[in-house]
Amino acid sequence: MKRTSRVLSCLIAAATAAAGASAFAQTASPDYPIKGQVVQRLSVFDNPEGAIFSADGKHVFVTNSAELGDPKIGFNWTHKAGYISKLEVQSDGSLKMVNEKLIIGLTGPLGMAVSNTATKRFPKGTIFVALADAPGANPDGTPVKDKADHDPKILAFNEAGNVLGEIKLGEGSAAYKAAGVPATLANALAFDKSGNLYLADTGVAGGTFDPPIATKGGGIYLFPKSSIDDLAEGKDAKVSYLAVPEGGPDGIEVGPDGLIHFNTVGVAAGLKDPAEGGQYKVTKSDIENGKLPAPFGKGFGALDGLDFAGSVRLDTEIKNTSSVVVTTADGKAYTLTYDQEVKLAGPADVAVRKQSDGSYLLVIPELTATAPNNKDNTVTVVRLPKGFDKP
């Protein structure tokens, strides 16, 4: 079992053993016929979890989740120690640090998304980040157990690092009223072309509080564009929720087909994920009507990040292979390989951007997990050649 799988299982004591043996283990995926070209491995981060390109593609933002880094205590976000770094994309595709700590004082900053339309409150290009908040521990290792300290939210900021607002996800919020539970581990975000916002909540770690916070094993939230400003002002507004029982949704992205794609990390988060690392795609109306279709891919282990390079879907897998899974439009799954030896350590919420020459830049944050926060964890940058999605 990979090291990352072991530590993520600490989220819940039952962990992988409770999930039992796989009923439909995914066979090893063949190598994708086109290799990724490694541009850079930059090891200056604290357990980086998420990456996103700015609207113009000139910068990359990376969330430093600042996982506590103590194997004896287990997997925990260090309370108010997370931060966001800003980097500039160079002409060769490499990244140069601009501001190591653009925003500080965050708990569990994870996946991000950039708005593609404006609202009255949030300009086009605003960056939204999910703050997981749980499970948490103080810097000295003592667990955060007081429910009053549980404050999951979506934070919005601009490229200069100015915070523009937030959408609450905890008890009493509109999101809570839609789901019946708080979003205990808000994990990833995506916008559709109309400006509607989607959130994947892994839905674990409620049991770390005293008294425990009820969870449902995760789900998908839909925040209509028309609701976003009101929600940021603390008002009630329409929110829809699609339960994914025991699945533990992790990555989410709107695909080129216009559908909302997501995956599940459940087994690695201590859940009995029925898909054991599932790939899903749903419509907006599916979420509004609470309709969960069967996964179109399953048995991968534990899937984490998700993005697209043209028509191909890229999921990261953190339990069995610690790799990037490439899924073509016809549903065939492959493993991404590289032009040099690369061993990823917990590939998480990836970001992809098409370049002017037709290639794609793939940014892979590596959430090493239980590694001390010594600013030495890695983000890997890979170029996917022109025509990558059409081998």
CB distance 36 to 337 below 8 Å: yes
CB distance 199 to 241 below 8 Å: no
CA atoms of 357 and 11, how far apart (whole Å)? 43
Backbone angles phi, psi at 151, to 5 degrees: -140, 65
Nearest to 244 by CA among 221, 227, 228: 221
Identity of the residue numbered 79: H
Is 3-17+49-306 a CATH 2.120.10 domain? yes
Helix H or strand E encompassing 179:
helix 174-179
Report the pLDDT value the prediction gives residue 28, as an integer from 0 to 100: 60
Report the pLDDT value the prediction gives residue 278, as an integer from 0 to 100: 98
CB distance 287 to 241 below 8 Å: yes
Strand pairing class (312-317; 323-327): antiparallel
Map tokens 């025991």 to a residue: 246
Question: Per 3-state DSSP, what percentage of the chain is helix, strand, and coil (rounded to 5)?
Answer: 10, 40, 50
CA atoms of 263 and 243, how far apart (whole Å)? 13
CA atoms of 24 and 370, how far apart (whole Å)? 30
Map tokens 């989220």 to a residue: 11
Per-residue pLDDT tens listing for the chain (391 residues)? 333 333 344 443 333 333 333 444 455 689 999 999 999 999 999 999 999 999 999 999 999 999 988 888 888 999 999 999 999 999 999 999 999 999 999 999 999 999 999 999 999 999 999 999 899 999 999 999 998 889 999 999 999 999 999 999 999 999 999 999 999 999 999 999 999 999 999 999 999 999 999 888 899 999 999 999 999 999 999 999 999 999 999 999 999 999 999 999 999 999 999 999 999 999 999 999 999 999 999 999 999 999 999 999 999 999 999 999 999 999 999 999 999 999 999 999 999 999 999 999 999 999 987 777 889 999 999 999 999 999 8
* Assigned token pair, 299: 């048995």
Report the pLDDT value the prediction gives residue 192, as an integer from 0 to 100: 98
Helices (H) then strands (E): counts for the chain: 5, 25
End-to-end Cα separation, the chain, in angstroms: 32
Report the pLDDT value the prediction gives residue 202, as an integer from 0 to 100: 97
